[in-house]
Amino acid sequence: MIDDLKRMLSMAVDEFYRKDYNLIHQKAHERTCVAQIAHYLQNLLSKDPVKWSGVVVNCDYNRQGTEGKRKLAPPRSKRKYQEPDLLIHTHGVPDNNFLFAEFKWWWSRESYKKDFQKLKTATKDEKDKNPDRDRCKHYRLGVFVELGEKDPAYIYFRGGKLESEYLAEIVRRAERG
């Protein structure tokens, strides 16, 4: 599942770079570019309707749960509500929160720190004591995508950590027996 998500995201971003490079060259608005990537990603999901039945790609989606409540930002955030750049999920089904993604241009002056914190919170394991759990439901994979001038760069998050830290922790637990 995780490898499928990574592969499809990479394919969608690659297609964006091939077909829509003019948006990169023009330094178009981030939302414009993420919406195009979401379109390519939804097309990839629709190629396997059995595996991805009911799963959708949303940009700037700010709802959670079956009542459609606004997705609250973590308590330490200056913002009241959270709008991830891109999600892969099933509306109203918390167990089907697959991918939480944040995008930034290479030339952006904004710090990545806030996005990294959002990704850590969004991917915390349900079993963890997560004070922000009601504010951002557990996603299986988080990714920060830097849209570079020539190529994208990906930083993955799982279990509330950078993926490399998460995997190292699993290895340590396995070695302890």
Q: How many residues does the chain have?
A: 177
What is the separation of C-alpha 69 from the centre of its chain, rounded to a whole number of angstroms?
20
One-letter amino acid at 114 equals: K
* Residue 135 confidence (pLDDT): 47
Could you tell me which of 49, 10, 1, 33 has the C-alpha nearest to residue 151?
A: 10
CA 170/CA 177 separation, integer angstroms: 11
With beta carbons less than 8 A apart as the criterion, state whether 13 and 103 touch. Answer: no
Give the count of domains, the chain. Answer: 1
Of 169, 68, 92, 100, the residue nearest 128 (C-alpha): 169
pLDDT in tens, the chain (177 residues): 899 999 999 999 999 999 999 999 999 999 999 999 999 999 999 999 999 999 999 998 766 655 544 454 555 556 556 678 999 999 888 788 999 999 999 988 888 898 999 899 889 876 555 444 444 568 999 999 999 999 999 999 999 999 988 888 888 888 886
Residue 28 pLDDT: 94
**Helix crossing, 2-19 with 30-46: angle to 10°?**
120
Q: Sign (positive/negative) of CA torsion 166, 95, 97, 72?
A: negative
Domain holding 104: CATH number?
3.90.1570
Q: Domain range for residue 56?
A: 2-176
Q: Give the per-residue pLDDT at 74.
A: 54
Residue entry with tokens 């979401």: 38
Residue 137 tokens, joined? 């439901």
